[in-house]
Amino acid sequence: MSENTSGADNQQERFLVHPFTSEYVVGLVDGEGYFSVTAKIRERKNYRAHEVSLVFGMKLSEKDGKVLEFLRDYFGCGNLHYCRDLRENFCNCIEYQVRSQKDVLGIIIPFFRKYPLKFPSKQKAFKYFCEIADIVIKRKHLDEKGIKKIQHLSKLMH
């Protein structure tokens, strides 16, 4: 028997060479993914700017980071960031994020509408994430009432 055919690390590597399925992506995001929204009103000299940021992401330990490379390739968008952690008993991480509004609205949201999340907590977060995205699409975030609604909905996500 070959030494290379046994061991959990080798099994994981063999699995990762195959393309992800939609079911695998849903399970991975159910367990480790997040949907995040920030809504701010910035005061400028002559006007107030209403800023809304929609983010889809996942953060894993550095040793599991290869999974995030495959996830990025699966969606065809987003970026990977290395997160160094100097605290004792903590590990360095890799974070995958999709921050582009175009990619969130055109790739991420349609994917999870077609392939729904299974965990109730993730379903809830995604539902509010989509409601906020709809407000942004309709440009209702550009007034005080819209920003306040987004801020309220973002608190309900978690």
CATH topology of domain 9-156: Endonuclease I-creI (3.10.28)
Residue 65 has a pLDDT of 84
DSSP-derived 3-state class of residue 13: helix
Instruction: State the average pLDDT for the chain.
Output: 86
Higher-confidence position of 105 and 5: 105
The 3-class secondary structure across 42-106, one letter per residue, is EECCCCEEEEEEEEEEEEEEHHHHHHHHHHHHHHCCCEEEEECCCCCCCCCEEEEEECCHHHHHH
Q: Give residue 3's pLDDT band: very low, low, confident or very high (50, 70, 90).
A: very low
In the chain, where the domains are located? 9-156
Residue 87 has a pLDDT of 66
Higher-confidence position of 113 and 148: 113
Higher-confidence position of 63 and 57: 57
pLDDT tens per residue across span 108-128: 999 999 999 999 999 999 999
pLDDT tens per residue across span 66-118: 899 999 999 999 999 988 776 676 778 899 999 999 999 999 999 999 999 99
Mean local confidence (pLDDT), 44-55: 80
Q: Which of 10-14, 28-32, 99-103, 126-130 has the lowest mean pLDDT?
A: 10-14
Higher-confidence position of 49 and 67: 67
Question: CB of 43 within 8 A of CB of 64?
Answer: no
